[in-house]
Homo-oligomer: A and B are copies of this chain.
Amino acid sequence: MVKQNNNIGIVETRYYTFAYPPSELELESGEKFGPITLAYETYGKLNSEKSNAILILHALTGDAHAAGLHPDDKDPGWWDNMIGPGKAFDTHQYFVICSNVLGGCKGSTGPSSINPLSGKPYGLQFPVITIKDMVNAQRHLIDDLGIDKLLAVAGGSMGGMQALQWVASYPDKVRSVIPVATTANHSSQQIAFNEVGRQAIMADPNWNEGDYYGRELPAKGLSVARMVGHITYMSDVSMGEKFGRKFKNTKQLLKFSPEFEVEGYLQYRGDNFIKRFDPNSYLYITKAIDYFDLANGKGLREVFRGIESPFLVIAFKSDWLYPAYQSQEIAKACKLAGIEAIYCELNSNYGHDAFLIEVEEQSHLIKYFLRKVTKGYRVADASNS
Protein backbone atom coordinates (compact mmCIF):
# COMPACT_ATOMS: atom_id res chain seq x y z
CA MET A 1 0.00 0.00 0.00
CA VAL A 2 1.88 3.05 -1.25
CA LYS A 3 1.18 6.30 0.57
CA GLN A 4 0.48 9.26 -1.69
CA ASN A 5 2.33 11.83 0.37
CA ASN A 6 5.67 10.35 -0.44
CA ASN A 7 7.58 12.64 -2.72
CA ILE A 8 10.65 10.73 -3.78
CA GLY A 9 8.80 7.72 -5.07
CA ILE A 10 10.28 4.28 -5.48
CA VAL A 11 13.88 3.89 -4.36
CA GLU A 12 16.33 1.05 -4.45
CA THR A 13 18.94 -0.26 -2.04
CA ARG A 14 22.32 -0.88 -3.61
CA TYR A 15 25.32 -2.73 -2.31
CA TYR A 16 28.96 -1.78 -2.37
CA THR A 17 31.63 -4.32 -1.49
CA PHE A 18 35.19 -3.20 -0.90
CA ALA A 19 37.28 -4.11 -3.92
CA TYR A 20 40.42 -6.17 -3.51
CA PRO A 21 42.73 -4.50 -2.63
CA PRO A 22 41.84 -3.23 -0.14
CA SER A 23 39.70 -6.13 0.86
CA GLU A 24 40.17 -5.39 4.51
CA LEU A 25 39.53 -2.57 6.90
CA GLU A 26 41.88 -2.03 9.80
CA LEU A 27 39.54 -1.75 12.74
CA GLU A 28 40.14 0.49 15.74
CA SER A 29 40.96 -2.67 17.70
CA GLY A 30 43.85 -3.32 15.34
CA GLU A 31 42.13 -6.33 13.83
CA LYS A 32 41.89 -6.47 10.05
CA PHE A 33 38.46 -7.35 8.74
CA GLY A 34 36.90 -7.96 5.36
CA PRO A 35 35.36 -8.23 2.91
CA ILE A 36 32.82 -5.58 3.85
CA THR A 37 29.59 -4.86 2.03
CA LEU A 38 27.63 -1.69 2.72
CA ALA A 39 23.98 -1.40 1.75
CA TYR A 40 23.17 2.16 0.68
CA GLU A 41 20.60 4.31 -1.00
CA THR A 42 20.92 7.62 -2.79
CA TYR A 43 18.32 10.28 -3.52
CA GLY A 44 18.68 13.24 -5.89
CA LYS A 45 21.49 13.75 -8.36
CA LEU A 46 25.18 14.28 -7.84
CA ASN A 47 26.15 17.48 -9.67
CA SER A 48 29.04 17.59 -12.11
CA GLU A 49 31.34 19.19 -9.51
CA LYS A 50 30.33 16.44 -7.07
CA SER A 51 29.91 19.17 -4.48
CA ASN A 52 26.29 18.59 -3.43
CA ALA A 53 26.55 15.25 -1.61
CA ILE A 54 25.11 14.89 1.89
CA LEU A 55 25.74 11.80 3.95
CA ILE A 56 22.87 10.90 6.27
CA LEU A 57 23.81 8.66 9.20
CA HIS A 58 21.33 6.44 10.94
CA ALA A 59 20.60 5.62 14.57
CA LEU A 60 20.87 2.28 16.42
CA THR A 61 18.07 0.44 14.65
CA GLY A 62 17.99 2.46 11.42
CA ASP A 63 19.14 1.38 8.00
CA ALA A 64 20.08 2.61 4.53
CA HIS A 65 16.43 3.17 3.65
CA ALA A 66 16.13 6.74 4.85
CA ALA A 67 13.55 8.00 2.37
CA GLY A 68 11.20 7.02 -0.44
CA LEU A 69 9.47 3.71 -0.87
CA HIS A 70 10.50 0.22 -1.74
CA PRO A 71 7.92 -1.48 -3.97
CA ASP A 72 6.57 -3.53 -1.05
CA ASP A 73 6.74 -0.75 1.57
CA LYS A 74 3.77 0.21 3.69
CA ASP A 75 5.69 3.16 5.12
CA PRO A 76 8.46 5.23 3.58
CA GLY A 77 12.07 5.37 4.86
CA TRP A 78 12.84 6.41 8.42
CA TRP A 79 13.64 10.09 7.68
CA ASP A 80 11.35 10.54 4.72
CA ASN A 81 9.77 13.61 6.29
CA MET A 82 13.18 15.29 6.13
CA ILE A 83 14.53 14.02 2.80
CA GLY A 84 12.85 14.74 -0.53
CA PRO A 85 11.97 17.47 -2.99
CA GLY A 86 11.64 20.74 -1.08
CA LYS A 87 12.28 19.08 2.26
CA ALA A 88 15.08 19.78 4.75
CA PHE A 89 17.49 17.71 2.70
CA ASP A 90 16.13 18.88 -0.63
CA THR A 91 16.68 16.23 -3.28
CA HIS A 92 16.19 18.87 -5.99
CA GLN A 93 19.41 20.44 -4.76
CA TYR A 94 21.37 17.76 -2.98
CA PHE A 95 22.58 14.24 -3.60
CA VAL A 96 21.67 12.41 -0.43
CA ILE A 97 23.39 9.17 0.58
CA CYS A 98 22.54 6.85 3.45
CA SER A 99 24.27 3.55 4.22
CA ASN A 100 23.54 0.83 6.72
CA VAL A 101 26.35 0.77 9.29
CA LEU A 102 29.05 -1.85 9.54
CA GLY A 103 27.72 -4.32 12.11
CA GLY A 104 24.13 -3.78 11.00
CA CYS A 105 21.64 -6.32 9.75
CA LYS A 106 20.00 -4.51 6.85
CA GLY A 107 22.29 -5.45 4.04
CA SER A 108 25.65 -4.33 5.41
CA THR A 109 28.17 -6.78 6.78
CA GLY A 110 27.32 -7.65 10.36
CA PRO A 111 27.22 -10.59 12.74
CA SER A 112 24.36 -12.20 10.79
CA SER A 113 26.36 -12.09 7.53
CA ILE A 114 28.03 -15.19 6.19
CA ASN A 115 31.66 -15.48 7.21
CA PRO A 116 33.34 -16.49 3.94
CA LEU A 117 35.90 -18.53 5.86
CA SER A 118 33.34 -20.77 7.54
CA GLY A 119 30.36 -20.45 5.22
CA LYS A 120 28.26 -19.73 8.32
CA PRO A 121 27.04 -16.52 9.94
CA TYR A 122 29.73 -14.76 11.96
CA GLY A 123 27.79 -14.65 15.21
CA LEU A 124 30.28 -13.73 17.94
CA GLN A 125 33.17 -14.32 15.53
CA PHE A 126 32.29 -10.90 14.21
CA PRO A 127 34.91 -8.44 15.49
CA VAL A 128 34.26 -5.70 18.03
CA ILE A 129 33.51 -2.49 16.14
CA THR A 130 33.38 1.19 17.00
CA ILE A 131 31.73 4.30 15.61
CA LYS A 132 35.09 5.12 14.01
CA ASP A 133 35.07 1.76 12.23
CA MET A 134 31.59 2.50 10.88
CA VAL A 135 32.83 5.84 9.57
CA ASN A 136 35.96 4.33 8.05
CA ALA A 137 33.83 1.80 6.19
CA GLN A 138 31.57 4.61 4.91
CA ARG A 139 34.69 6.46 3.76
CA HIS A 140 35.34 3.66 1.27
CA LEU A 141 31.82 4.04 -0.10
CA ILE A 142 32.13 7.81 -0.44
CA ASP A 143 35.46 7.40 -2.22
CA ASP A 144 33.91 4.85 -4.53
CA LEU A 145 31.14 7.30 -5.40
CA GLY A 146 33.89 9.69 -6.46
CA ILE A 147 33.04 12.26 -3.82
CA ASP A 148 36.05 14.12 -2.50
CA LYS A 149 34.19 16.34 -0.08
CA LEU A 150 30.77 15.95 1.48
CA LEU A 151 28.62 19.05 1.66
CA ALA A 152 27.31 17.81 5.01
CA VAL A 153 27.27 14.84 7.35
CA ALA A 154 24.05 14.69 9.36
CA GLY A 155 22.28 12.36 11.72
CA GLY A 156 20.43 11.97 14.99
CA SER A 157 21.38 9.87 18.00
CA MET A 158 24.07 7.37 16.90
CA GLY A 159 23.87 9.11 13.53
CA GLY A 160 25.08 12.27 15.23
CA MET A 161 28.00 10.38 16.75
CA GLN A 162 29.02 9.23 13.28
CA ALA A 163 28.73 12.80 12.00
CA LEU A 164 31.06 13.98 14.78
CA GLN A 165 33.46 11.14 14.08
CA TRP A 166 33.43 11.94 10.37
CA VAL A 167 34.56 15.51 10.87
CA ALA A 168 37.09 14.51 13.53
CA SER A 169 38.60 11.75 11.35
CA TYR A 170 38.32 13.50 7.98
CA PRO A 171 38.09 17.26 8.53
CA ASP A 172 39.03 17.93 4.90
CA LYS A 173 36.25 15.74 3.57
CA VAL A 174 33.37 17.39 5.38
CA ARG A 175 32.12 20.89 4.63
CA SER A 176 29.57 20.98 7.44
CA VAL A 177 28.26 18.92 10.32
CA ILE A 178 24.69 18.48 11.63
CA PRO A 179 24.67 16.46 14.86
CA VAL A 180 21.14 16.07 16.20
CA ALA A 181 20.04 14.81 19.64
CA THR A 182 23.41 13.27 20.29
CA THR A 183 26.53 13.35 22.42
CA ALA A 184 30.30 13.43 22.05
CA ASN A 185 30.65 10.69 24.65
CA HIS A 186 28.31 8.11 26.08
CA SER A 187 27.51 8.72 29.73
CA SER A 188 27.33 6.23 32.52
CA GLN A 189 23.53 6.25 32.47
CA GLN A 190 23.49 5.80 28.69
CA ILE A 191 25.87 2.86 28.96
CA ALA A 192 23.68 1.43 31.70
CA PHE A 193 20.52 1.47 29.58
CA ASN A 194 22.36 -0.23 26.72
CA GLU A 195 23.76 -2.80 29.11
CA VAL A 196 20.26 -3.70 30.34
CA GLY A 197 19.29 -4.37 26.74
CA ARG A 198 22.35 -6.53 26.16
CA GLN A 199 21.82 -8.46 29.37
CA ALA A 200 18.20 -9.08 28.43
CA ILE A 201 19.29 -10.56 25.10
CA MET A 202 22.07 -12.66 26.59
CA ALA A 203 19.77 -13.88 29.38
CA ASP A 204 17.60 -15.54 26.75
CA PRO A 205 18.75 -19.16 26.46
CA ASN A 206 17.96 -19.04 22.74
CA TRP A 207 20.75 -16.50 22.37
CA ASN A 208 23.11 -19.45 22.80
CA GLU A 209 26.33 -17.39 22.87
CA GLY A 210 25.26 -15.69 19.67
CA ASP A 211 24.89 -18.94 17.73
CA TYR A 212 21.16 -18.98 17.00
CA TYR A 213 21.02 -18.56 13.21
CA GLY A 214 18.75 -21.17 11.69
CA ARG A 215 17.40 -22.02 15.15
CA GLU A 216 14.93 -20.41 17.48
CA LEU A 217 15.75 -16.71 17.95
CA PRO A 218 16.24 -15.00 21.33
CA ALA A 219 13.00 -13.15 20.65
CA LYS A 220 11.96 -12.60 24.27
CA GLY A 221 15.32 -11.16 25.24
CA LEU A 222 15.39 -8.82 22.26
CA SER A 223 11.83 -7.80 23.03
CA VAL A 224 12.75 -6.73 26.56
CA ALA A 225 15.76 -4.81 25.18
CA ARG A 226 13.49 -3.02 22.74
CA MET A 227 10.95 -2.20 25.45
CA VAL A 228 13.49 -0.47 27.65
CA GLY A 229 14.78 1.32 24.57
CA HIS A 230 11.34 2.63 23.73
CA ILE A 231 10.87 4.08 27.19
CA THR A 232 14.09 6.04 26.79
CA TYR A 233 13.07 7.29 23.33
CA MET A 234 9.86 8.83 24.65
CA SER A 235 9.38 11.34 27.46
CA ASP A 236 7.35 11.24 30.65
CA VAL A 237 5.05 13.82 29.05
CA SER A 238 4.69 12.10 25.67
CA MET A 239 3.96 8.75 27.31
CA GLY A 240 1.45 10.44 29.59
CA GLU A 241 -0.26 12.11 26.64
CA LYS A 242 -0.26 8.99 24.49
CA PHE A 243 -1.24 6.38 27.09
CA GLY A 244 -1.85 8.00 30.48
CA ARG A 245 -3.27 5.33 32.77
CA LYS A 246 -5.68 4.05 30.14
CA PHE A 247 -6.56 0.41 30.19
CA LYS A 248 -6.73 -1.69 27.05
CA ASN A 249 -10.20 -2.55 25.89
CA THR A 250 -9.45 -6.22 25.81
CA LYS A 251 -9.68 -8.22 28.97
CA GLN A 252 -6.52 -9.43 30.64
CA LEU A 253 -6.46 -13.11 29.77
CA LEU A 254 -3.66 -14.23 32.02
CA LYS A 255 -2.21 -12.78 35.19
CA PHE A 256 0.42 -10.18 34.29
CA SER A 257 -0.53 -10.02 30.62
CA PRO A 258 -0.66 -6.40 29.42
CA GLU A 259 -3.72 -4.50 30.64
CA PHE A 260 -2.56 -0.90 30.55
CA GLU A 261 -2.30 0.56 27.06
CA VAL A 262 1.34 1.44 27.63
CA GLU A 263 2.07 -2.21 28.45
CA GLY A 264 0.38 -3.37 25.28
CA TYR A 265 2.27 -0.82 23.21
CA LEU A 266 5.65 -1.84 24.62
CA GLN A 267 4.92 -5.51 24.16
CA TYR A 268 3.77 -4.95 20.58
CA ARG A 269 6.89 -2.93 19.81
CA GLY A 270 9.10 -5.48 21.51
CA ASP A 271 7.54 -8.52 19.85
CA ASN A 272 7.72 -7.00 16.39
CA PHE A 273 11.34 -6.01 16.65
CA ILE A 274 12.60 -9.56 16.15
CA LYS A 275 11.10 -9.51 12.64
CA ARG A 276 13.43 -6.76 11.57
CA PHE A 277 16.49 -6.75 13.77
CA ASP A 278 19.26 -9.18 14.55
CA PRO A 279 19.95 -9.57 18.29
CA ASN A 280 23.71 -9.85 17.76
CA SER A 281 23.67 -6.61 15.76
CA TYR A 282 21.96 -5.07 18.78
CA LEU A 283 24.82 -6.22 20.99
CA TYR A 284 27.59 -5.05 18.66
CA ILE A 285 26.07 -1.69 17.79
CA THR A 286 25.10 -0.74 21.35
CA LYS A 287 28.64 -1.62 22.39
CA ALA A 288 30.06 0.60 19.64
CA ILE A 289 27.86 3.41 20.97
CA ASP A 290 29.03 2.82 24.53
CA TYR A 291 32.67 2.96 23.46
CA PHE A 292 32.04 6.31 21.80
CA ASP A 293 34.10 9.02 23.46
CA LEU A 294 35.31 11.47 20.84
CA ALA A 295 37.59 13.37 23.20
CA ASN A 296 38.89 10.21 24.90
CA GLY A 297 40.63 11.97 27.74
CA LYS A 298 41.58 15.06 25.77
CA GLY A 299 39.34 18.12 25.79
CA LEU A 300 36.75 18.10 23.03
CA ARG A 301 38.06 21.50 21.91
CA GLU A 302 41.41 19.87 21.23
CA VAL A 303 39.75 17.28 19.02
CA PHE A 304 37.97 20.07 17.17
CA ARG A 305 41.04 22.27 16.76
CA GLY A 306 41.79 22.98 13.10
CA ILE A 307 38.33 21.96 11.90
CA GLU A 308 36.86 24.63 9.64
CA SER A 309 33.48 23.06 8.92
CA PRO A 310 30.55 24.88 10.53
CA PHE A 311 28.24 22.93 12.86
CA LEU A 312 24.50 23.02 13.29
CA VAL A 313 23.85 21.37 16.65
CA ILE A 314 20.21 20.53 17.42
CA ALA A 315 18.82 19.24 20.73
CA PHE A 316 15.31 18.76 22.11
CA LYS A 317 14.22 19.94 25.53
CA SER A 318 12.39 16.77 26.57
CA ASP A 319 15.12 14.39 25.32
CA TRP A 320 16.37 12.80 28.53
CA LEU A 321 18.27 9.98 26.80
CA TYR A 322 20.59 12.47 25.06
CA PRO A 323 19.94 15.52 27.21
CA ALA A 324 20.48 19.00 25.79
CA TYR A 325 23.52 19.57 28.00
CA GLN A 326 25.42 17.04 25.89
CA SER A 327 24.64 19.00 22.72
CA GLN A 328 25.61 22.21 24.52
CA GLU A 329 29.01 20.66 25.25
CA ILE A 330 29.49 20.00 21.53
CA ALA A 331 28.52 23.56 20.63
CA LYS A 332 30.73 25.00 23.35
CA ALA A 333 33.73 22.97 22.23
CA CYS A 334 33.15 24.22 18.67
CA LYS A 335 33.19 27.81 19.82
CA LEU A 336 36.28 27.26 21.97
CA ALA A 337 37.98 25.77 18.91
CA GLY A 338 36.96 28.72 16.74
CA ILE A 339 34.42 26.76 14.70
CA GLU A 340 31.23 28.47 13.54
CA ALA A 341 28.50 26.70 15.45
CA ILE A 342 24.78 27.25 15.65
CA TYR A 343 23.15 25.62 18.65
CA CYS A 344 19.42 25.25 18.73
CA GLU A 345 17.33 23.63 21.45
CA LEU A 346 13.86 22.91 20.17
CA ASN A 347 10.77 22.69 22.30
CA SER A 348 9.19 19.29 22.00
CA ASN A 349 7.46 16.83 24.27
CA TYR A 350 8.51 13.85 22.18
CA GLY A 351 11.74 13.11 24.02
CA HIS A 352 14.54 11.55 22.01
CA ASP A 353 12.08 10.53 19.28
CA ALA A 354 11.66 14.23 18.54
CA PHE A 355 14.46 14.10 15.98
CA LEU A 356 12.26 11.78 13.91
CA ILE A 357 9.03 13.68 14.56
CA GLU A 358 9.67 17.42 14.89
CA VAL A 359 9.98 18.18 11.21
CA GLU A 360 9.04 21.79 10.81
CA GLU A 361 11.58 23.64 12.91
CA GLN A 362 14.36 21.15 12.16
CA SER A 363 13.67 21.59 8.44
CA HIS A 364 13.91 25.37 8.62
CA LEU A 365 17.17 25.21 10.56
CA ILE A 366 18.73 22.68 8.22
CA LYS A 367 17.56 24.32 4.99
CA TYR A 368 18.92 27.69 6.02
CA PHE A 369 22.16 26.19 7.27
CA LEU A 370 22.74 24.14 4.10
CA ARG A 371 21.98 27.16 1.93
CA LYS A 372 24.65 29.12 3.75
CA VAL A 373 27.12 26.24 3.55
CA THR A 374 26.46 25.83 -0.17
CA LYS A 375 27.04 29.52 -0.78
CA GLY A 376 30.27 29.39 1.14
CA TYR A 377 29.60 29.71 4.81
CA ARG A 378 33.09 30.72 5.84
CA VAL A 379 35.61 33.08 4.36
CA ALA A 380 38.22 30.45 5.21
CA ASP A 381 36.43 28.00 2.94
CA ALA A 382 37.09 30.22 -0.07
CA SER A 383 37.38 27.37 -2.54
CA ASN A 384 33.69 26.65 -2.10
CA SER A 385 32.40 30.19 -2.15
Residues of A near any B CB (own CB < 8 A): 124, 128, 185-189, 191-193, 195-196, 198-200, 202-205, 210, 220-221, 223-224, 227-228, 230-231, 234-236, 239-240, 242-245, 255-256, 258, 260, 262-263, 266-267, 270, 283, 287, 290, 293, 320, 323
Contact = CB atoms under 8 A, between A and B. Distances in A.
16 contacts: A188-B236, A188-B244, A189-B240, A192-B231, A192-B262, A192-B266, A195-B227, A195-B258, A195-B263, A195-B267, A196-B227, A198-B256, A203-B221, A205-B205, A236-B323, A320-B320
6 closest cross-chain pairs (CB), A and B: A203-B220, A188-B239, A188-B243, A189-B236, A195-B263, A189-B239
B196 A266 contact: yes
Given A245-B186, A262-B195, A323-B236, A203 B204 contact: yes
A335 to B, nearest CB: 23
B262 A191 contact: yes
B228 A196 contact: yes
Contact of A203 (B189, B193, B224): B224
Contacts of A221: 203
A230 to B, nearest CB: 8
A103 to B, nearest CB: 13
Contacts of A220: 199, 203
A33 to B, nearest CB: 15
A287 B200 CA distance: 21
A323 B236 CA distance: 10
Contacts of A262: 188, 191-192, 195
Contacts of A199: 220, 223-224, 227, 266-267, 270
A230 B204 CA distance: 21
Contact of A236 (B187, B202, B283): B187
Contact of A228 (B228, B235, B243, B260): B228
Nearest to A195: B263
Contacts of A283: 256
Given A186-B245, A195-B260, 20 more contacts: A188-B239, A188-B240, A188-B243, A188-B245, A189-B231, A189-B235, A191-B262, A191-B263, A192-B263, A195-B258, A196-B228, A196-B231, A196-B266, A203-B204, A203-B221, A203-B224, A205-B205, A224-B224, A256-B283, A320-B320
Contacts of A244: 188
A231 B193 CA distance: 7
A258 B255 CA distance: 34
A242 B28 CA distance: 28
Contacts of A290: 260
Contacts of A263: 191-192, 195
